[in-house]
Amino acid sequence: MKLRYLKNVATLYLAVEKCIGCGRCAEVCPHRVFRVEEKKAKIEDRDSCMECGACARNCPVNAVTVKAGVGCAQAVIVGWLTGTEPTCDCSSGEACC
């Protein structure tokens, strides 16, 4: 069963007019949000986006923007309490905030 998180929250945006169809976004996305068709990327499954920021960082023409951050409650609480940006200051096995 595919795990899905909250709907309609992701801040992912693709400026199609800038896109050169290189396919990097589709390559790096861990949740297969993008698909490239006829030399243009397309957001196929926005609700699967976890805002890791891989697509935006690897887009050579800055066509993709996303407010990347850690989806980690503990980090958010610490951020709220200390008045700082939530950062993932923690280590784990494979998966982590």
Q: Which of 23, 28, 36, 65 binds other proteins (CB under 8 A)?
A: 28
Closest approach, Cβ 35 to other proteins, in A, equals 10
| Identity at 36, one-letter amino acid code | V
Stretch that binds other proteins, among 13-21, 36-44, 56-64 (CB under 8 A): 56-64
| Identity at 11, one-letter amino acid code | T
Binding mask 69-88 for other proteins (x = CB under 8 A): xxxxxxxxxx-------xxx
Q: Could you give the angle at the alpha carbon of 70 between the alpha carbons of 64 and 72, nearest 5°?
A: 145
Q: Does 21 bind other proteins (CB under 8 A)?
A: no
DSSP string, 22-76: --HHHHH-TT--EEEETTEEEES-GGG-----HHHHH-TT--EE-------HHHH
Residues that bind other proteins (CB under 8 A): 1-7, 9-11, 24, 27-32, 48-54, 57-58, 60, 67-78, 86-97
